A and B are shown apart, each in its own frame.
Chain A
Amino acid sequence: ELKVEQNPLFLSMQEGKNYTIYCNYSTTSDRLYWYRQDPGKSLESLFVLLSNGAVKQEGRLMASLDTKARLSTLHITAAVHDLSATYFCAVDITSGTYKYIFGTGTRLKVLA
């Protein structure tokens, strides 16, 4: 059974600080996605990482993928209040079936 774990589960940080969210998964995959969810809202795609060593950046967020370590990171630089949300990673299983498994989620709160 594929497991996708994120840490931390909760993160409270001051504006202007840097932090990294980690996503570990338990099976072979070279496709990993990051999503953002605001309270009471749907999931919005942030990044698509499709190979070992892939790095994507958008604004204050940067995501990377190490398929050998089965690890993805989402790095936050100089956090601002608008980044407060829950962040999920999701793994697309490398097999003939179609199944995206989501991580446990990291609830980020950026304090002004």
Chain B
Amino acid sequence: EPEVTQTPSHQVTQMGQEVILRCVPISNHLYFYWYRQILGQKVEFLVSFYNNEISEKSEIFDDQFSVERPDGSNFTLKIRSTKLEDSAMYFCATGGLRGSPLHFGNGTRLTVT
């Protein structure tokens, strides 16, 4: 079964540094999402991406965050200047047609020190 692949699995960075989290979506999926989860708690929506542009973003997704699909396959989340409170598990998810479930990657655990 096709999978969503995320790299790295764990990223440790210092406060103020930039990080890029990468995701390879399922090939025929058109909708891409980033979610984050802090300490196994609520799964928080960050942003959705469709047709090479942001479809929706949450209040969490401020100017420090950006997404892009640089080469038509990878889907990236960039955090420009990380804060301690950005420490979380970040999940990439992709979806096909409306009404289909999201498929999640295994996540990137980001630790900001």
Nearest CB of chain B from residue A98's CB, rounded to whole Å = 4
Whether the Cβ atoms of A42 and B99 lie closer than 8 Å is: no
Contacts of A45 in B (CB 8 A): 101-103
Nearest CB of chain B from residue A12's CB, rounded to whole Å = 17
How many of B's residues come within 8 Å of A, CB to CB? Answer: 26
Q: Say whether A48 faces chain B, with CB atoms less than 8 Å apart.
A: yes
Whether the Cβ atoms of B45 and A99 lie closer than 8 Å is: yes
Binding site for A on B (CB under 8 A): 31, 33, 35, 40-45, 48, 50, 55-56, 91, 93, 95, 98-107
Whether the Cβ atoms of B105 and A42 lie closer than 8 Å is: yes
How many contacts A-B (CB < 8 Å)?
62
Residue of A37, A41, A99, A101 contacting most chain B CB atoms (<10 Å)? A99
Which label, helix, strand, loop or mixed, suits the secondary structure of the B interface? strand
Whether the Cβ atoms of B42 and A50 lie closer than 8 Å is: no
- Cα-based distance from A73 to B104 in the complex (angstroms): 23
Given A31-B99, A98-B56, A100-B102, the answer on whether A43 and B45 have CB atoms closer than 8 Å is no
- Cα-based distance from A12 to B8 in the complex (angstroms): 34
Residue in B31, B48, B106 whose CB lies within 8 Å of A42 = B106
- Cα-based distance from A102 to B43 in the complex (angstroms): 6
The 8 A CB mask of A33-45 against B (1 = contact, 0 = none) is 1010101111111
Residue of B43, B48, B102, B105 contacting most chain A CB atoms (<10 Å)? B43
